[in-house]
Each structure stands twice: as structure tokens, then as C-alpha cells.
Amino acid sequence: MSKLSHYDDRGRAQMVDVSAKLETKRTATAHAFVRIRPAVLKKLPKNPKGDPLEVARIAGIAAAKRTSELIPMCHPLMLSHLDVRIEVRPRGVKIVSSATTTGPTGVEMEALTAAAVAALTVYDMTKALDKGIEIQDVYLLTKTGGKSGEFTRDGKAQKQSKTSGQSKARGQSEK
């Protein structure tokens, strides 16, 4: 097992020094699911607070840009692209976020933050209709770039070229 890089030799938390790392293209895709009763799902378009799915999409994008302010050892990153896609499903709302940067460290936390905050926003915008709404399944789907290479949740990552920093990983759907 690898050593946790956010701890020094004395076990104290530290920000990892990425100054010697190469800048490469890095991507990440994350997932969240908000379980909502069908009766509440039907009321989404009529929400007096506005369209909860559009507000959640924008909240996810805004949150990803502030990830380093929320997670203490996270590096501030210049995001090249961020997207949050939200889809109504029979049992709730599926959220998939994707983040891209060119830099010395990955964007997994930005993608995860976008998905989690979008899910929290859906809850906030619909909690008056049902307090039993559940946020579930917040996880990383894919990651590319960097020394650790590619990751896909289904375990079928293709080996990354050491020179290109490009990937062929794809997300998967659930719910």
C-alpha cells in the first residue's frame, strides 16, 4: 500500500509539494445520486424557489471553483473546464460532474465537490416537500493524468501513455 502523502514523518497533516511535478492534462468525473420519492419528482418543475436542477448545476460549478477553500490540503487549481449534468431518473436525480485542468495535480476533488454540492442543492431546493430525501453514491467515476495514471470505477482503465497525459476512460451510469 502507498504512503499517504498528506502526512509528514511525524504524522502531521501537510499540503503536498507539487512544485516538481510536470504539468499534464488531468480530468476527473464524479457521480452522486439524490433519491427522491416519485411524487416529489413530479413537483420539481413547479418549485416556487425556481428550477432546482438548474440551480444545483450552477451551485456544483461554483463549488468546484472553491474546492481548495473547503478542503484544507487541496491545492487551488485553474480549471480549464467543468460541467455538471443532472438527469431525472425514476427513483431520483443522477448527477455527473466532470473537471479538466492542465497542472501538476489532479482534479478529483473538484469533480467530487461539484457532484456533492449539486446533490446538496437539490436537497435544499426540495426539502420542503420531503425531509426523507437521501443523498447517495458520491464517488469518483474516472480520473486521468498524472503519475498514478488512469482510474475507472469499473476497473477497466487502459494504461496511460507516459508522454501524452491523455486518457480513454469513460464514466458509467447507475440508478
Domain range summary for the chain, segments of one domain joined by +: 24-148
Q: What is the pLDDT of residues 42-61, one digit of tens each?
A: 988 787 778 999 999 999 99
**Buried b or exposed e, range 106-145, using 16+ CB within 10 angstroms:** bbbbbbbbbbbbbbbbbbebbeebeeebebebbebbbbbb
Q: For residue 143, how far is the Cα from the chain centroid?
A: 10
Fold entry, domain 24-148: Alpha-Beta Plaits (3.30.70)
What is the three-class DSSP state of 128?
Answer: coil
Q: What is the pLDDT of residues 110-126, one digit of tens each?
A: 999 999 999 999 999 99
What pLDDT, on the 0 to 100 scale, is given for residue 50?
83
For the annotated catalytic residues, the residue numbers are: 124
Q: What is the pLDDT of residues 158-169, one digit of tens each?
A: 444 433 333 333
| Structure confidence at residue 3 as a pLDDT band (50, 70, 90) | low
Q: Which three cell numbers stand for residue 73?
A: 490540503
